Amino acid sequence: MRGPGTAVAIALLLMALATAGCGLGPGSGVKDAELTVTRDYGTVPVVHRQLGDLTESDTVMRALERNAEITTRYGGGFVQSIEGLEAEESGGGSLDWFFYVNGVESTIGAADYALHGGESIWWDYRDWDAAMRVPAVVGSWPQPFLGGYDGKQRPVAVECLGGGSACNEVEERLGAAGVDLSSRPSSGAIRILVGPWLQVRDDPAAAQIERGPQTSGVFADFHREGRDYRLSGLDEAGDTTVDFGSESGLVAATRRYEEPPVWVVTGASGAGVRAAAGLLDAGDLRDHYAVAVDGAKETPLPLR
């Protein structure tokens, strides 16, 4: 005969399960999210859906599985193919599926990434020979400023590094998108650096851009020409393809180690910075890794 200890243990277990938020089924519904599937650095759209059926038990993998034809590998932990596009490694290059939630590359697998609602999920099929890691992208604007990343809301800080009127424009555009700006800088904030490259490059995260896409994940480069800097666009292989003019600008995102993502709104000159600030809207940034602007001409990066 079992003693009262067993009954107490069972009662405690049931109480613990009840208080831990347990229950049958997938749980209650959460806010809608957005799913985008593209290939070749966002240039070719494959799937775009508004996810209205999310529940609190949903992960990036479950959301994808319900909305696209996929196959997986390694016990369901990694995506092998979406809509028939298979990951492959051959002499021609290494092609694989990468995903971003709110424009930030995840450090955990899609099957373990829990969704809370409101996220922007972006799967992209690309060659990763030139940049194995692209830690952050700008194509989910106004994310990550609205919803944060890794399931947590983060403060947002604009750092004006000689950007002048461009700083005001960046703040206005963030405000118009519904982003609350942090009044004082904090260590966990997602930062937006606004200013000419000469000053922005002093920031350790932004300085990664000069070390190439393998380090920063940004397919752009600034090189010195006399006392000024000039912006170049790189192709998928990381080679310089285009030298932009003296009034060119760049909007890009990067991340140093596990620090919060850093966006740069910069240019070779003040005019370039202002042109870059004008790119901050969904129409110009949508599904791009980074965008350069030269005069009135916008160029998604990497170049193709």
Binding-site ranges for another protein (CB under 8 A): 16-17, 19-27, 55-57, 61-62, 65-66, 70-72, 75-77, 111-112, 114
Shortest spacing between CB 21 and another protein, in angstroms? 5
Tell me whether residue 20 or residue 296 sits nearer to another protein (CB atom): 20
- 210 near 179, Cβ under 8 Å? no
Is residue 224 exposed (0-12), middle (13-18) or buried (19+ Cβ within 10 Å)?
exposed
Max Cα–Cα distance, the chain, nearest Å: 90
Shortest spacing between CB 303 and another protein, in angstroms? 35
Shortest spacing between CB 29 and another protein, in angstroms? 13
Tell me whether residue 68 or residue 242 sits nearer to another protein (CB atom): 68
Shortest spacing between CB 261 and another protein, in angstroms? 25
Tell me whether residue 111 or residue 161 sits nearer to another protein (CB atom): 111
For residues 109 and 285, give the distance between their C-alpha atoms in angstroms, rounded to a whole number: 26
Tell me whether residue 28 or residue 187 sits nearer to another protein (CB atom): 28
Shortest spacing between CB 66 and another protein, in angstroms? 7
Is residue 112 exposed (0-12), middle (13-18) or buried (19+ Cβ within 10 Å)?
exposed
Contact residues for 117 (Cβ-Cβ < 8 A; gap 6+): 30, 31, 32, 33, 54
Give me 116's structure tokens. Answer: 């809370």
Q: Report the DSSP beta bridge partners of residue 135.
A: none
Tell me whether residue 64 or residue 285 sits nearer to another protein (CB atom): 64
